[in-house]
Amino acid sequence: MRRRFLAFVCCFGMLASLLPCSVKANGRTTNVNLLETPEEVAEVFYRQNASLRKSKGVTVQDQQNEIRKRVIVESAQTLENTYGAVKTYYYTVGGYQILLYDSADQAELAVTNLKKDYPGVHIFQDIPVTLEEAARDGDADVQVEIQDAAEKEDESETETEIQAFDGIHMMGMDKLKEDAKDWSGDATVAVIDSGIDEDHPWFTTRLDRKNSVNLAADGLGKDAYNDPNQGHGTHVAGIVTQATPVQVKIMAVRVFDLTGSASYTTITLGVDYAVQHNADVINMSLGFEILPGFESDDTDLMDEAFARALKAGTTVCVASGNEYTDTARSYPASSRWTIAVGSLEPDKDGNSYIRSDFSNNGTLLDFAAPGRNIFSAWIGEGETTEIASGTSMATPHLAAAAAYVKLKHPDYNQREVYSVFRDYAVDLGEPGKDTEFGYGYVDFTNYAAEDQNTAKKYQAITAPAQINKTMNDLDKPFTIDIEFSRGNGTLSFASTDEKVAKVNGSQVQVTGVGSCEIVITASETDQYYQTEERVKIRVEKGQQTINVPVTEYHKYLSDKNFKVTASIEKPGDGKLVFLANENDVLKVTEDGYVTISGTGTTQIYAVAKASDNFVRQVSDAITVTIEEDPKPQPKPDNSQNQSGNTDHNQQNPGTTVSLKKAVIRKVQPKKAQVKVTWKKQAAAGSYEIRYALKKNMKNAKTVKANGKKSSVTIKKLKSGKKYYIQVRAVKESGTAVTKGAWSTKKSVRAK
């Protein structure tokens, strides 16, 4: 057996069927391909790398360049223009689109253009991640580290024997392993990393070979989850196997290829894969440091995967990082959806425990675990082992503890596992949770006798880590979805900033743009300690809706000046102004007063200006056509008008007729159809009915109905899809067309 000291520093660079739609890519039509599993996405990335696989001497830079050819659009909305994408995919699990380009420069330009087209939608180039020792990209906005050491030592054999720290014994898991050997059931820990040495003796009976996978975009094939040349994943997995009984299996989820490269998206796919294949625990001994220039929204993609993990009952343990800085600067340790693990070690006298000098700290640190001089498996022939240091080594200790909880309580979710950790935590540092050790380390020496433990326990409140709202939700109180399964205290709610959100009992009311926390507290009882859970509420600016009652005007040069009108639906609060394209036909004031200056057709737009609470919005075009005055008509011979009627009641062609806002009475879904019924208006000559898949009615289709009708059936809809529908009345009088306000939107799901 070979043993030598290794203190790692590995750093990253920068962290099928068709949908019924197509998009324009600089003049060519691109089909949107549906991807329903992480493996299908990985297969796309594998095919993307085909040209690299044919090349010799592929470098990390080559692989990073391929990754930057991908653009992620976090929206299901059909893109009208992809600006040159050669392939477009929609990943159903994550709800985002993946666009492939011929070059990284094209992808970068496309991001700039797409952000202009779709403000508020998170759009970014995929982020390359490299597993190179001591390699940092000085020009990168983000620097990522695989969290596995604070310092790099000489890897040659040393004369001084390094004493390994037996963290498994310290946490009582050597005793628990013996106590639990006859427990029923099983548990699976997914190790998202560089793979596992599948031939290592430690994994002979412990590796879940059926569900282990390679999601890396290299040439080894999707089943090649072996750890060929990195060793990191093997070391991490070895800690879990040594700390747990045979009922605990390891699912290897390999995300780093042979060059040591991965991407932010690939790692996110690893989380989805583990959840879909029923992993009980996920170990992520990796992370990246958030540096200036990194957008906070860049973490949304993975946070949403963590939210899916929480909902599925999977516990996610992640390394806090090795920069000796605030955990808030390290992701995914800073995610509200994960359990952040720091590193501790014995002091020089061996009498107590101290935080490792490389370990990140701060208020977001949850627990600490052994991370200095940890003995475990390594790649190589036979039973190769190494001693390594880092928060990467601390994390699998806590993941192993989580596996024990899942063995005993397979129905427990992450919040319930967390409460058990608190029950058995040994407090270090300042009393209670502190910035050096979190709640301390977990001692599971007596966990087998949990049923006989009469000490007070901590309660478990399961709630979403974050809820996103906009100012469009201003008048829509909501209730946080809470599961209170471990405890018997009384729940109370409070807001940390009532300028963002207020609480009334268990209901939350949005009040302004910003972020706050809703603190949910379970009161102390005879059996349980007081426990609190915090839910972040993020409120962004809303979208404004502009109603334009008349969208077409026909006038003559001699007509008097006139006024166009529009209104902003509440809760929109921007100032309404009118603008016109540059033209020789008319001029319009901000208040909507129009001065005619020539003949032709032009457009006027109503604009809701941006405010503190809402983004700028532009209405559909108001089309104005100005014609030459008609030639004078001979005066009628009134003497021949025996009935006494005159033409004074004839309507001026430039005059408009007032119509009421339409009212939808009923929407009835049928198979691929919807019947819409509305309240008739006596003045209406016809009706327009528009329908769309998006609430903002973008890309809406319109059908027309005779003014005598009060219903219409919209056909050829997509079964199972939700549609938004509006109706408005239309009246044509001479050359003037008057259109009433659109009705309030109704939503319906086609059968």
Where residue 672 sits, what CATH number does that domain have?
2.60.40.10
**Cα–Cα distance for residue pair 149/172, rounded to 1 Å:** 24
Q: What pLDDT does residue 294 have?
A: 57
* The pLDDT of residue 14 is above 80: no
* The pLDDT of residue 299 is above 80: yes
**Average pLDDT score over residue span 215-226:** 77
Q: What pLDDT does residue 160 have?
A: 56
The domain boundary residue, chosen from 486, 517, 538 = 538
Residue 262 maps to a domain: yes
Of the residues 126, 148, 179, 193, which is catalytic?
193
To the query of whether residue 232 is one of the catalytic residues in this protein, the response is: yes
In 118-199, alpha helices (H) = 167-170, 173-179
Q: What pLDDT does residue 17 have?
A: 32
Task: Give the three-state DSSP class for 1.
Answer: coil
Domain containing 77 equals 13-130
187 and 105 within one domain: no
Tell me, what DSSP letter sits at residue 643? Answer: T
Residue 703 maps to a domain: yes
To the query of whether residue 392 is one of the catalytic residues in this protein, the response is: yes
The domain boundary residue, chosen from 614, 644, 674 = 644
* The pLDDT of residue 647 is above 70: no
Which positions ≥6 away from 658 have C-beta within 8 Å?
A: 683, 738
* The pLDDT of residue 52 is above 70: yes
**Angle ∠(467,306,138) on CA atoms, nearest 5:** 100
713 and 615 within one domain: no
220 and 202 within one domain: yes
495 and 426 within one domain: no
Whether omega for the bond prior to residue 128 falls within 30 degrees of 0, making it cis, is no
Task: Give the three-state DSSP class for 677.
Answer: strand
Q: Which of 215-219, 304-308, 719-723 has the lowest mean pLDDT?
A: 215-219
- Angle between helix 38-48 and 264-276 (nearest 10): 150
* The pLDDT of residue 273 is above 90: yes
571 and 423 within one domain: no
**Cα–Cα distance for residue pair 47/266, rounded to 1 Å:** 14
Residue 142 maps to a domain: no
**Average pLDDT score over residue span 354-364:** 95
**Cα–Cα distance for residue pair 535/515, rounded to 1 Å:** 10
**Cα–Cα distance for residue pair 424/653, rounded to 1 Å:** 84
**Average pLDDT score over residue span 442-457:** 94
Instruction: Give the strand pairing for 213-214 and 248-254.
Output: parallel
**Cα–Cα distance for residue pair 67/44, rounded to 1 Å:** 12
73 and 177 within one domain: no
Of the residues 232, 235, 397, 554, which is catalytic?
232
425 CA to centre of own chain: 32
443 and 364 within one domain: yes
593 and 474 within one domain: no
Residue 560 maps to a domain: yes
Q: Which of 7-11, 320-324, 455-459, 696-700 has the lowest mean pLDDT?
A: 7-11
Which structure tokens are listed for 28? 């060519």
The domain boundary residue, chosen from 611, 644, 677 = 644
The CA-based diameter of the chain, rounded to the nearest angstrom, is: 128
**Cα–Cα distance for residue pair 113/132, rounded to 1 Å:** 33
Task: Give the three-state DSSP class for 621.
Answer: coil
Work out the pLDDT band at 68, boundaries 50, 70, 90. Answer: very high
Task: Say which residue the tokens 């503890």 belong to.
Answer: 401
222 CA to centre of own chain: 26
Q: What pLDDT does residue 18 have?
A: 31
Residue 234 maps to a domain: yes
Compute the mean pLDDT over every residue in the chain, rounded to the nearest whole number: 86
Integer distance in angstroms from the first to the last C-alpha of the chain?
A: 65
pLDDT tens digits, residue range 495-521? 999 999 999 988 999 999 999 999 999
Task: Give the three-state DSSP class for 627.
Answer: strand
**Cα–Cα distance for residue pair 725/728, rounded to 1 Å:** 11
300 and 203 within one domain: yes
Residue 494 maps to a domain: yes
Work out the pLDDT band at 130, boundaries 50, 70, 90. Answer: low
Q: What pLDDT does residue 261 have?
A: 81
437 and 553 within one domain: no
Burial classification of residue 563, based on how many CB atoms lie within 10 Å of its CB (0-12 exposed, 13-18 middle, 19 or more buried):
exposed
| Per-residue H/E/C for 254-312 | ECCCCCCEEEHHHHHHHHHHHHHCCCCEEEECCEEECCCCCCHHHHHHHHHHHHHHHHH
* The pLDDT of residue 137 is above 60: no
pLDDT tens digits, residue range 522-559? 999 999 999 999 999 989 899 899 999 999 999 999 88
CB 531 within 8 A of CB 485: no
**Average pLDDT score over residue span 203-210:** 96
**Partners of 144 in beta bridges:** 12, 288
Q: What pLDDT does residue 593 have?
A: 96
Where residue 595 sits, what CATH number does that domain have?
2.60.40.60
Of the residues 285, 334, 359, 392, which is catalytic?
392
295 or 188, which is more confident?
188
**Angle ∠(161,165,169) on CA atoms, nearest 5:** 140
Number of domains in the chain: 5
Residue 473 maps to a domain: yes
Q: What pLDDT does residue 654 have?
A: 43
379 and 293 within one domain: yes
Closest by CA to 42, choosing from 67, 60, 74, 25, is 67
pLDDT tens digits, residue range 463-474? 988 898 999 999
Q: What pLDDT does residue 5 have?
A: 29
* The pLDDT of residue 70 is above 70: yes
Where residue 485 sits, what CATH number does that domain have?
2.60.40
Residue 404 maps to a domain: yes
Q: How far is residue 542 from each of residues 177, 613, 617, measured CA to CA in Å?
A: 54, 6, 10
545 and 446 within one domain: no
> Exposed e or buried b for every residue in 651-665, given b needs 16+ CB within 10 A?
eeebebbebeebebe
CB 230 within 8 A of CB 379: yes
Work out the pLDDT band at 7, boundaries 50, 70, 90. Answer: very low
**Cα–Cα distance for residue pair 236/254, rounded to 1 Å:** 13
Helix, strand, coil content of the chain in percent (nearest 5): 20, 35, 50
**Average pLDDT score over residue span 635-662:** 51
Whether omega for the bond prior to residue 332 falls within 30 degrees of 0, making it cis, is yes
